[in-house]
Amino acid sequence: MPKFHVFADDATLDYPVVRKIGLADLKDALAKGIDDFWAIPTSLVFLGLIYPVVGMCLAGYALPLLFPLMSGFALVGPFAAIGLYEISRRRELGLETSWAHAFEVRHSPSIPSLLALGLLLLVIFICWRETAEALYVWLFGRMETVSFTEFLNDIFTTSRGWTLIVLGNAIGCIFAVGVLSISVVSFPLLLDRDVGLAVAVLTSLKAVRENPVTMAIWGLIVAAVLAIGFLLLFVGLAVAVPILAHASWHLYRKVVEPAAPV
């Protein structure tokens, strides 16, 4: 009978084996992610369009917080991509796959752990947003409605603007590294095996510790692909997000050894 838990008891912890990977593995994971995307385009467009819609809503929230909200959008991406991981998992097993199967995750015995980890990412996103707002207010004072041209002028032609760029990116990088470290394999692992939240997060941290350079490059790839999606007026996210989600599943397969047969 599957364990239905959020945290595993210390006596039952069963840590998966983590492998060392290289750039060739990242390339192969991306190639397989693209293959998954093209194999079921209808389902992926249906799911992927959620992201541009949410992104455009965020863009209308507050111009000074546009970049923090866009970059913070990636902080909750691993949780939002769970359905796409499920599609890749089913394709890998040769099972029937359609857009409806993305919602099969609700039957997973790890659903409490998945929700708890998703809530953690949401808290991190909120902390990032509050930090970004506090930094802006510290440098520019109270937020006021300004035109896009005025905003760009303040950011790129003043010392305060460049301070905001440098400090904002430095702080954002800390948040991004933290999220990458705890989530790069934890969500796929929980979907694949009922190991508990503690084991999933610790395995993800170990994967980053064992592959620091490779995982750093993976983080840069994710950031670059998402940036391109945002620059294409968010519509590019309908392609970028599904590909990255599927590729993340295949990256998990390369980093974590399969469970031993029982």
Question: So what's the pLDDT on residue 11?
Answer: 43
Q: For the chain, list residues with pLDDT below 70.
A: 1-13, 41-63, 98-102, 143-146, 233-235, 260-262
Q: What does the pLDDT read at residue 4? A: 44
Q: How far is CA 65 from CA 22, 60, 134, 185, 234, in A?
A: 36, 10, 11, 29, 16
**The pTM is what?**
0.84
Q: Could you tell me the residue ranges of all domains in the chain?
A: 19-255
Q: Is the dihedral of CA 179, 219, 40, 70 positive or negative?
A: positive
pLDDT for the residue 72: 78
The residue count of the chain comes to 262
Q: What is the DSSP string of 59-98?
A: HTT-GGGHHHHHHHHTTSHHHHTHHHHHHHHHHHTT----
Q: pLDDT at position 110, please?
A: 84
The pLDDT, as a whole number, for residue 96 is 76
